[in-house]
Amino acid sequence: MEIQKNNDGYESLVITEKTIDVRKLIYDRNPKLAKWIPKFLLRFLERLIHQKEINETLYRNKDKQGLDAVEAFLNDFGVIVKTHNIENIKDENRFLLVSNHPLGGVDGLALMKSVGRVKPPICFPVNDFLLYLPNISELFIPINKIGSQSTANARKFDEAFLSEKNILFFPAGLASRKIKGKIVDTEWKKTFVQKARSYQRNVIPVFIDGRNSNRFYRLAKWRKFFRIKFNIEMLFLPDETFKQKGKTINIYFGKPIPYTLFDNSKKDIEWAQYVKEIVYNLKQNL
């Protein structure tokens, strides 16, 4: 695994035939620990994250950038993206699009493709480790970075909202879980309400139809039951992504919500849940 600096000063991976290397990653981070990890466990981790397949996809598309790379990744997975009422965004500019997050990976790619080809330019706030993917890092804004770079990332976050770019956002911040028998997001954070109002951006509600495997939801349930803080099910998201191969993802676009709606009649967290309810009704109201 080779690391380089991208144009924004962030570290990213150099695309090679072995871009992702679990063994080297563990060894570089903790050489003493690496010596004690059994080889069978390393092989399990490599299979779990689909190291071989991911490396093949990255290397095959190493010369593609931005939305071209996004489309190439989706094509490799054989994923078909179908949009409904996407005309709702065609007359909007500088919008803030908010969506549920059912899959934890490929849903983000599908959203970038569908919106990016109709209303560019776009950007997407994501966990900072995704910036290590050089092909598509130009579409991302880093969030939840800890340490010395947190101030710089906060500045870039605000700069994005000041820009003319259309912003895509997952208010839940993590993939949907199974709650009371239904696949739904956890509580939506109020950040998007505050940003929409502060930067005068209308909100586009979007519903993505999809689900992960039952195993993923069972792991999340067991982890919560045993009060394990480490997000174990997150390790299985690459495998969940590969389970979406050949599937069709339907995306439903709602009508713009004026930022002026978010007044003092409700708390910001209440407005966030209000928009969340709109999102989950989009499919049945089609």
Domain edges within the chain: 1-60, 77-281
Q: Do β-strands 177-179 and 182-184 pair in parallel, antiparallel, or remain unpaired? A: antiparallel
- More confidently predicted of 119 and 14: 119
Select 77-281's CATH number: 3.30.530.20, 1.10.3210.10, 3.40.1130.10, 3.40.630.10: 3.40.1130.10
Range in 108-117, 180-189, 226-235 the model is least confident about: 226-235
pLDDT tens track for 25-45:
888 878 888 889 999 999 999
* Residue 150: pLDDT over 80: no
Which of 145, 144, 142, 77 has the alpha carbon at shortest distance from 113? 77
Q: What is the mean pLDDT of residues 79-83?
A: 98
> How many angstroms separate the CA atoms of 28 and 24, rounded?
6
| Each residue's pLDDT tens digit, 236-254 | 999 999 999 999 999 999 9
pTM (2 decimals)?
Answer: 0.91
The answer, yes or no, to whether residue 197 has pLDDT greater than 60, is: yes
Percent of the chain at pLDDT exceeding 90: 74
Longest dimension (CA), the chain: 59
On the question of pLDDT at 4 being above 70, the answer is: no
Position 64 confidence tier, pLDDT thresholds 50, 70, 90: very high
Q: What is the mean pLDDT of the chain?
A: 91
Tens of pLDDT, residue by residue over 209-233, are 999 999 999 999 999 999 999 889 9
Residue 205: its H or E element: strand 203-209
